[in-house]
């Protein structure tokens, strides 16, 4: 109750002091504004960048800790890998291949497999080897333009979502139980779904290396964080239509990729041993651990701290401004503080009054800076939102607001501490000598 009374007293008197010296308060706020704004902008920018860069990184790169093995689809690699991984839930192989779904015998609307809104994005299919890269004969040269969509068809041996947490959009995910269907069941990513929403095409699927063109069943849509049309399919359903030696032998993907949980060391050892036994050189088996999120977070944090350091320097200038004004004000208010002590105000409360004034000034400035940040972000979204799709739907991050308030309070404390101590030390006898 006692503390509450003192707190209230300091706020009332601090508020009176601010109202009495509006111009000085305004000048203090001006000097502090840029510093707090800098903190708010850096924090907001860092949070938005974080969200934009990190939100989809797990979808694309995999959850941190995932062990990834890359295998070149040569010799017995694919059959051995598929045999070792059959029925396993702690390791999943994925193999990408090029597929075209739509009208038979036509040139796809997105040749190269790029986004349908960006023609020519993907460019012609290329194949690279020791002698260099050259265009692949996709067999559709001279074909007429038609309604067909080219996409990256990813065959899976199991549920990949434990490694890459795709977000379900519509329908269902692949069921890896039961017999494989002769009509391969596909789960599209959102870019592929968008393409098929726009082009209602006949359902014939041309797959590189397939012996015939199957009719696919589209069963669901997921957000996989990718930027190009893709579809996911059970690899055994794909193999109904193509020989095992053609799996992963594509220009669309990195060959065969095996994803394993950190605890699947036994699978990794077995697979490596079997592959080496099948004649695959050990140095062609590449394994690494996904640490993308960690690495990116570390880099972003470093960048954030560098910018926050610069913002702190600007804030320091604002603090110097508050300190300067505060010292001058205390000098002018010696008699007032002496009088307050004479009527029984404790020294601590006098210090509290001065601190309350600078803290209120800091908070007001923080409120203005946060307001400016919100308005600035809205303007930026209006002006540049269409150019940067990742900015779509971005809201002002609350962390930036908290950082602004903390910066305002810290500046208020730093700028008000010395004047507060001086105010508390003013002798009461000042009023007797006056």
Partner 1 sequence: MTTSPFLTPSPPLPPVSQPPLIHLTGVTKTLKGQDEPRTILAGVDLTVNPGDSVAILGRSGSGKSTLLSLIGLFDRPDGGQYLLGERDITKIPERKAAALRSAEFGFVFQRFFLLKHLTAAQNVAMALVNGQGWLPRRKRKAKVMAALERVGIGHLAKHKPPRLSGGEQQRVAIARALVREPRILLADEPTGALDTDTGNLVVEVLRETTDLGCGLVLVTHDHDHAAKMGRVLHLSDGLLRPTGQRVVA
Nearer residue to partner 1 within complex by CB, 91 or 426: 426
Nearer residue to partner 1 within complex by CB, 12 or 133: 12
- Contact between 4 and partner 1 by CB under 8 A: the answer reads yes
How far, in whole angstroms, is CA 427 from its chain's centroid? 58
Report the phi/psi class of residue 397: left, alpha or beta, with left for phi > 0 and alpha for psi in -120 to 50: beta
Q: Angle 398-425/22-54 helices, nearest 10 degrees?
A: 150
- Contact between 343 and partner 1 by CB under 8 A: the answer reads yes
Those residues with Cβ within 8 angstroms of residue 182's Cβ, 6 or more apart along the chain or in another chain: 214, 237, 240
- Contact between 8 and partner 1 by CB under 8 A: the answer reads yes
CB count in 10 Å sphere of residue 187: 27
Per CB under 8 A, contacts with partner 1 among 210-239 are: none
- Selected from 306, 313, 342, 395, the binder of partner 1 by CB under 8 A is 342
- Selected from 88, 272, 274, 347, the binder of partner 1 by CB under 8 A is 347
Which residue from 91, 89, 90 is spatially nearest to 81, judged by alpha carbons?
91
Kindly write out the interface string for residues 388-427 of this chain, putting x where it contacts partner 1 by CB under 8 A and - elsewhere.
---------------------------------------x
- Contact between 428 and partner 1 by CB under 8 A: the answer reads yes
For residue 121, give both structure tokens.
């994005």
* Pair 409, 317: CB distance under 8 Å: no
Which residue from 386, 138, 392, 115 is spatially nearest to 250, judged by alpha carbons?
138
Cα R_g (the chain), whole angstroms: 33
Nearer residue to partner 1 within complex by CB, 342 or 395: 342
In the complex, the smallest distance separating the C-beta of residue 394 from partner 1, rounded to whole angstroms, is 45
Q: Number of residues in contact with partner 1, rule: CB under 8 A? A: 33
Part of the chain binding partner 1 (CB under 8 A), chosen from 14-22, 65-73, 183-191, 207-215 = 14-22
Those residues with Cβ within 8 angstroms of residue 178's Cβ, 6 or more apart along the chain or in another chain: none
Residue 240 has φ and ψ, to the nearest 5°, of -65, -20
Per CB under 8 A, contacts with partner 1 among 138-197 are: none
In the complex, the smallest distance separating the C-beta of residue 39 from partner 1, rounded to whole angstroms, is 32
In the complex, the smallest distance separating the C-beta of residue 409 from partner 1, rounded to whole angstroms, is 22
- Selected from 135, 139, 346, 389, the binder of partner 1 by CB under 8 A is 346
In three-state secondary structure terms, 150 is strand
Nearer residue to partner 1 within complex by CB, 20 or 306: 20
C-alpha to C-alpha distance for 273 and 277, rounded to whole angstroms: 6
Beta bridge mates, 126: 135
- Contact between 26 and partner 1 by CB under 8 A: the answer reads no
DSSP letters, 100-119, are: EEESTT-B-TTTTS--TTST
- Contact between 340 and partner 1 by CB under 8 A: the answer reads yes
- Contact between 9 and partner 1 by CB under 8 A: the answer reads yes
- Contact between 12 and partner 1 by CB under 8 A: the answer reads yes
Part of the chain binding partner 1 (CB under 8 A), chosen from 12-20, 91-99, 385-393, 399-407 = 12-20
- Contact between 6 and partner 1 by CB under 8 A: the answer reads yes
- Contact between 1 and partner 1 by CB under 8 A: the answer reads yes
C-alpha to C-alpha distance for 209 and 235, rounded to whole angstroms: 14
- Selected from 19, 128, 281, 382, the binder of partner 1 by CB under 8 A is 19
CB count in 10 Å sphere of residue 131: 6
In the complex, the smallest distance separating the C-beta of residue 27 from partner 1, rounded to whole angstroms, is 17
Binding residues for partner 1, per CB under 8 A? 1-2, 4-6, 8-10, 12-13, 16, 19-20, 335-336, 339-349, 427-429, 431-434
């Amino acid at each position: 109750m006692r503390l509450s009374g003192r707190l209230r007293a300091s706020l009332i008197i601090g508020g009176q002091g601010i109202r009495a010296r509006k111009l000085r308060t305004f000048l203090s706020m001006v000097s502090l504004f840029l510093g707090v704004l800098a903190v708010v902008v850096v924090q907001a920018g860092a949070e938005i960048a974080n969200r934009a860069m990190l939100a989809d990184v797990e979808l694309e790169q995999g959850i941190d800790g995932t062990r990834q093995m890359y295998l070149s689809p040569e010799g017995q690699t694919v059959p051995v890998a598929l045999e070792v991984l059959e029925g396993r839930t702690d390791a999943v192989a994925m193999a990408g291949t090029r597929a075209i779904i739509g009208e038979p015998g036509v040139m796809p609307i997105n040749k190269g497999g790029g986004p349908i809104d960006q023609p020519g994005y993907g460019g012609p299919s290329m194949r690279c080897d020791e002698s260099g890269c050259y265009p692949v004969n996709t067999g559709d040269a001279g074909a007429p333009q038609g309604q067909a969509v080219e996409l990256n068809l990813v065959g899976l041996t199991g549920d990949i979502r434990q490694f890459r947490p795709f977000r379900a959009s519509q329908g269902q995910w692949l069921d890896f139980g039961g017999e494989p269907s002769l009509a391969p069941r596909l789960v599209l990513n959102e870019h592929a779904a968008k393409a098929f929403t726009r082009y209602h095409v006949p359902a014939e699927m041309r797959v590189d290396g397939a012996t015939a063109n199957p009719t696919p069943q589209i069963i669901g849509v997921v957000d996989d964080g990718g930027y190009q049309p893709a579809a996911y399919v059970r690899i055994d359903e794909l193999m109904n239509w193509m020989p095992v030696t053609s799996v992963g032998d594509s220009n669309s993907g990195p060959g065969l990729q095996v994803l394993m949980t950190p605890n699947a060391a036994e699978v990794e050892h077995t697979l490596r041993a079997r592959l080496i036994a099948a004649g695959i050189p050990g140095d062609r088996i590449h394994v690494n651990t996904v640490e993308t999120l960690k690495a990116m977070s570390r880099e972003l944090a470093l960048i954030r701290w560098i910018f926050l350091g610069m913002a702190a320097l600007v804030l320091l200038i604002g603090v110097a401004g508050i300190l300067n004004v505060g010292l001058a004000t205390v000098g002018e208010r010696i008699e007032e503080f002496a009088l307050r002590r004479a009527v029984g105000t404790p020294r601590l409360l006098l210090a509290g009054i001065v601190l309350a004034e600078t803290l209120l000034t800091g908070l007001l400035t923080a409120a203005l800076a946060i307001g400016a940040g919100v308005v600035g972000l809205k303007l930026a979204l209006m002006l540049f939102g269409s150019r940067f799709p990742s900015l779509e739907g971005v809201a002002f991050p609350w962390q930036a607001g908290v950082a602004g308030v903390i910066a305002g309070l810290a500046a208020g404390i730093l700028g008000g501490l010395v004047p507060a101590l001086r105010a508390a030390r003013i002798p009461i006898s000042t009023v007797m000598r006056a």
